[in-house]
Amino acid sequence: MEVKTPTFNVETLDESKIYHHHDYPQIIIGLTGQSELATDDSSFCLSSGMGCLIDANVEHSFCGTPNNQVLVMNLPPFVSTPDVDMFGRGHFSLDARTHQLISLLATELKESANDGVLSQSISNTLQCLIKRSLMYFDEKRVERLNMALIDSYINQHIQQKISVAELSSVAFLAQSQFYALFKSQMGITPHQYVLRKRLDLAKQLIAERQKPLSQVAQLCGFSSQSSFSQAFRRLYGTSPTRYQFFIR
């Protein structure tokens, strides 16, 4: 595809990975659901309200969860994107108002595909909004993590192993920067935070008294009931069994 002027598409990514490259740069913004983009040696998650830059001729793959939707901005090959590393600072996060505006415009763009004048006006507005976001991102220094995004990722993957690498990709930061900022902001390590999230959910499920402890352990992402009981006792000073007994 030859790109002479910036163009926009609203797309749903397949659930299976597809590798490809193109001779023009792209900006991809998550509208709904979650998507994953990757090169041979790096990958990151793209959630709603997050964006990334993909340079021309970079081999990459993409896939998405069911009902995902992304806005793809194709740029002419001669247009330079901000001088950032794709998997380092080549990510940005939209503020709530800009994300809402872009989502509304993307929906209108998809529904008005046959109206050339309206489509062009929407495209021009989208370009302005994205350019403003990129300029802000390039100037901004990350001072605080968006814990709402991190909590959302943890809650969606609570039954699975969650690594610092995954969380840092959600925050669009290098692992070392993410780890230091997380510990400074939250007072505990990312691993300790995820563990507490698992145990908080376990307390909730135990209180509901609808599932055996073995299933609670599984639903909260523990490898065994034994490891669950040990972690529960260390944090709360009592075993899951005794806790279940005393909340009757």
For 113-169, the DSSP string reads: TT-HHHHHHHHHHHHHHHHHHHHHHHH----S--HHHHHHHHHHTTTS---HHHHHH
The answer to whether 164 touches 178, Cβ cutoff 8 Å, is: yes
User: How many CA atoms, within 13 angstroms, populate the side-chain half-sphere of residue 19?
Assistant: 6
Contacts 24+ apart (CB under 8 A), 218-226: 218/159, 219/158, 219/159, 220/158, 220/159, 221/158, 221/159, 221/160, 221/161, 221/162, 222/198
* Residue that is written with structure tokens 């495209």 in the block: 123
**Alpha-carbon separation of residue 107 from 103, 113, 188 (angstroms):** 6, 10, 41
**163-166: long-range contacts (C-beta < 8 A, 24 or more apart)?**
164/190, 164/191, 166/45
Name the DSSP letter for residue 93: E
pLDDT of residue 83: 39
Per-residue pLDDT of the chain (248 residues), as tens digits, is: 555 678 898 998 888 877 888 888 888 898 988 888 877 666 777 888 888 888 788 888 888 888 889 999 888 765 444 433 333 445 777 877 888 899 999 999 988 888 889 988 998 899 888 877 776 654 445 567 888 888 988 998 999 999 888 888 777 676 777 888 899 999 999 999 999 999 999 999 998 888 899 999 999 999 999 999 999 999 999 999 988 877 76
Terminal CA-CA length for the chain = 65
What pLDDT score does 87 carry? 35
How far apart (Å, rounded) are the C-alpha atoms in residues 225 and 233?
12
Looking at residue 190, its pLDDT comes to 94
